Amino acid sequence: MDSINSPRNKLLRLFPTPVESVALKGLYLNQQLHKLGTSSQPFVYSNFIASMEGRISLEHPQKKTFVVPKAIANLRDWRLFQELAAQADVLLTSGRYIRQLAQNVAQDILPISEQPAYADLIQWRQSQGLAPQPAIVIVSDSLNIPIPEALLKANRPLYVATGSEANQLRAQELKAKGIQIITAGTGLLVEGQKLIAALGQEGFTTIYSVAGPGVLKTLLAAQMLNRLYLTHALRILGGEPFDILVEGEQLDPPADFKLHSLYYDAVEKEKPSQIFGVYESVASKVPGAKG
């Protein structure tokens, strides 16, 4: 695959018109997401890569967990994933991802990556007055979370969001490790509106969900998602079991989106070409969200 810094670091912008060649590096960073939200109305966004038939994950061949398929994962999409993380005050993740970290099958410890290729993003955060790394919120109903030592020692705020009926013994064990507990639901499950309101009260204005379909559905059901970044890999995979963007009961009302921007990445060699789509929630009322 071409390096992010290669001369071919170009995409074709299809929308908004006019159609023109644009750089991949900085594509999402230039959207200035960290300026769109407030503590009373945080800006919430999420990101996925999917195959043409909609698979976002397949079961790991050795571990009983779901991971992004290697057949569509690529460094160009990962660069944009990191650019989205660079603009966040806080990352939403799931207990499943933390367990994957413990099993050593997760993509990374959690963005922003400290590899040299992403040093510019940490520098960018500092230039904007942001902390070197976003805070982390783990959404969990069971609180059965093996927190890796690397996260506990990472010098970034750690929270666990859960419902009011969560196991209090496990909650106390997490608190003893220096993790703050956010109660954001009346039962076992986290409720989207209460979660985002609680994070706003903590002073977070820009919230990036890097979790899977469960957390996405929680946000969509509460109309709390402002923007969806979706990479469409132009490859059909098949395979089961698998995850798609949203599963289970039908959303009522449905979550409607409008096209914000669209880019074609004509990748060469062994990887498929891909389309980077950015979609604005119709329910979004965040000032400046069209930027």
User: How many domains in the chain?
Assistant: 1
Tokens representing residue 78 in the block:
């990962």
In a domain, 272, yes or no: no
Q: 16: cis peptide before it, omega within 30°?
A: yes
Cα of first residue to Cα of last residue in the chain, in angstroms, is 31
Predicted local distance difference test score (pLDDT) of residue 8: 64
In a domain, 162, yes or no: yes
> Range of 99's domain?
34-260
Q: Is 153 helix (H, G, I), strand (E, B) or coil?
A: coil
In a domain, 93, yes or no: yes
Predicted local distance difference test score (pLDDT) of residue 110: 81
Residues in the chain where the model's pLDDT stays below 50: 1-2, 287-291
pTM (predicted TM-score): 0.92
Q: Specify the DSSP class assigned to residue 162.
A: E
In a domain, 25, yes or no: no
Beta strands in the chain (DSSP E): 10-15, 20-23, 43-50, 57-59, 66-67, 90-94, 135-139, 158-162, 180-183, 206-209, 227-233, 242-243, 257-265, 274-281
In a domain, 255, yes or no: yes
In a domain, 184, yes or no: yes
In a domain, 282, yes or no: no
Beta carbons within 8 Å of 17's beta carbon, 6+ residues apart: none
User: What CATH number is given to the structural domain containing 138?
Assistant: 3.40.430.10
In a domain, 206, yes or no: yes
Predicted local distance difference test score (pLDDT) of residue 2: 45
